[in-house]
Chain A
Amino acid sequence: MARHIVAALAEIPPGSQKLVHVKGRSIAVFNVNGELFGISDTCPHQGGSLAAGATVGLTTSTEPGKFCHSRPGEFVRCPWHSWEFDLRTGKSWCDPRKFRARPYDLSVESGEALVAGPYVAETFGVSVEDQYVVVEL
């Protein structure tokens, strides 16, 4: 396993998302209120790009006519058929056992640590003043 720098943190401010590529994989990276999530970009249903999907909260209900809204921004809806995926687990809401977008662990590292450490920067030029999103693969 190696750790790969996939983006500068400044490219993905809170409330935004970005499609990144590492070792032939497409990963949709989301910044939800400063917390970073990564899942495979390809919707397990029919292949829509989850990085292009809208992020929403979780809507549940205790009884007909009642709406409970929680976890704002922690779900992405596929732009093709609107299936919801939990950014924390990659699981689809409608059929979590059958349909899951692989989750990836992301971390944020300082440029200073990256320059010093054993990270695979590949095409990234790292500036010690900045912060970077790193995925382990």
Chain B
Amino acid sequence: MSISDAIDCDIHPGVPTIKALLPYMNDYWREAFIARGQDNFQPASYLPNSPIACRSDWRDGDAIPGSNFDLLQKHALDGFSARFAICNVLYGGSFSISETMGAAICSAVNDWVRAAWLARDPRLRASIVVPTQNPRLAVEEIERLAGDRRFVQILMPVALDMMLGKQHYWPIFEAATRHDLPIGLHAGSLYRYAPTTNGWPSHYLQDYVSNNHAFESQLLSLISQGVFVKFPELKIVLIESGVTWLPGFLWRARKTWRAVRPEVPWVDESPIEIVRRHVRLTAQPIDGPGDPAILERVLNQIGSDDMLLFATDYPHWQFDADRVLPEGVSARLIEKMTHDNPLATYPRLRETIQ
């Protein structure tokens, strides 16, 4: 599938070691990290040596996947003819139990991504990582960086301390809409709560697959608790959520809403319409069947070609060679996924084009 000038909505530069972040920390935290010898705050869902963490032909020896600038440029930007690529750094700041340490790591990651990545290639954009553990600190970090228009999104793990629709998180949504920044919800959790509703799983398989439930319950929380009513401009991007679960979710959400609507009267339209207007999904991993006709049916069931965003998920191993788009997607939808939809989702990218 040939694409050109595509907007890649999800790539993952890797923090090589904590040393890379120390220049962006204050004296206290610099000394603290050196003295404690703490390193490797990679979130645990992709252990560095697991196959999915990095495609084998993109590996750079034992280096943290995605941490080599030249290789990322060669593989992700040149390799897929990217016009822009959005850097989503998965690192411990959003996950830390200590709110202040989390804020220090997030702040350092953001300054590091600006200096070590954005400054080195004009095709790169980035998400602001925030300490979700404390929305006030998260808003401070958004305010600190929102003036730099190369930051195009706010990134949060999908499974958090609380249901995402709760008012606890509303200051983050308010800051997001004020600065034209969508909220990117990335697969992953804080790893101090069981990732399934029945407690701790025994195997990685369960942890990985249960992310789907987190996306469903957080999306339903945003709808039910009125976040999209309160923030009508808010866009939510589900990143690495997969796609094919969505039609079933929409069917159930609408069916049940019709029965219990008075419980949430501020939800005054079908959840399907709300999702189509406010929610976007990165299309890698696409989690679709091999048969293009079945995938086409799933896309028809979603009922909108505005929702999918092109992404390579570099360097995670979601596809081989250059088969980043699934078979059977129409030329029109490819055009929308690679250009129109990202530009509509990320207002700050539109500024660059005009």
Interface residues in chain A, defined as those with a beta carbon under 8 Å from any beta carbon in chain B? 56, 59-68, 81-84, 93-95
Tell me if A59 and B265 are in contact (CB < 8 A).
Answer: yes
From residue 236 to 270 of chain B, which have CB atoms closer than 8 A to chain A?
255, 257-262, 265-266, 268, 270
Q: Which residue in chain B gives the minimum CB-CB distance to A68? A: B265
Nearest CB on A from B97, distance (A): 30
* Contact A83/B259 with A61-B266, A64-B266 known, Cβ cut-off 8 Å: yes
Q: For the complex, is B93 an interface residue (Cβ under 8 Å from A)?
A: no
Q: How many residues of B contact A (CB 8 A)?
A: 16
Tell me if B225 and A84 are in contact (CB < 8 A).
Answer: no
Q: How far is the CA of A65 from the CA of B265 in the complex (A)?
A: 9
Q: Which residue in chain A gives the minimum CB-CB distance to B266? A: A61
Which residues of chain A have C-beta atoms less than 8 A from B266's C-beta?
61-66
Q: How far is the CA of A87 from the CA of B125 in the complex (A)?
A: 55
Which residues of chain A have C-beta atoms less than 8 A from B261's C-beta?
59, 84, 93-94
Tell me if B226 and A59 are in contact (CB < 8 A).
Answer: no
Top 4 nearest A-B pairs by Cβ distance?
A: A64-B226, A59-B262, A61-B265, A61-B266
Name 9 extra pairs, CB < 8 A, besides A67-B265, A81-B259, A82-B258.
Answer: A61-B265, A61-B268, A63-B230, A64-B226, A64-B227, A64-B266, A82-B259, A83-B258, A94-B257
Q: How far is the CA of A66 from the CA of B260 in the complex (A)?
A: 16
Q: For the complex, is B229 an interface residue (Cβ under 8 Å from A)?
A: yes
Q: Which single member of B225, B227, B270 contacts A94 (CB below 8 Å)?
A: B270
Inter-chain contact count A-B, CB under 8 Å? 42
Q: How far is the CA of A117 from the CA of B262 in the complex (A)?
A: 45
Nearest CB on A from B163, distance (A): 13
Nearest CB on A from B262, distance (A): 4
The proximity string for B residues 171-200 relative to A, scoring 1 for CB distances below 8 Å and 0 otherwise, is 000000000000000000000000000000
Q: How far is the CA of A59 from the CA of B266 in the complex (A)?
A: 9
Q: How far is the CA of A93 from the CA of B270 in the complex (A)?
A: 11
Which residues of chain A have C-beta atoms less than 8 A from B265's C-beta?
59-61, 67-68
Tell me if B262 and A94 are in contact (CB < 8 A).
Answer: no
Tell me if B258 and A81 are in contact (CB < 8 A).
Answer: yes
From residue 262 to 284 of chain B, which have CB atoms closer than 8 A to chain A?
262, 265-266, 268, 270
Which residues of chain B have C-beta atoms less than 8 A from A59's C-beta?
261-262, 265
Q: How far is the CA of A65 from the CA of B255 in the complex (A)?
A: 22
Which residues of chain A have C-beta atoms less than 8 A from B260's C-beta?
82
Q: Which residue in chain B gives the minimum CB-CB distance to A66? A: B266
Which residues of chain B have C-beta atoms less than 8 A from A81's C-beta?
255, 258-259
Residue of B227, B258, B260, B268 most packed against chain A (CB within 10 A): B258
Q: How far is the CA of A62 from the CA of B226 in the complex (A)?
A: 11
Nearest CB on B from A52, distance (A): 16
Which residues of chain A have C-beta atoms less than 8 A from B229's C-beta?
63-64
* Contact A64/B230 with A59-B265, A94-B270 known, Cβ cut-off 8 Å: yes
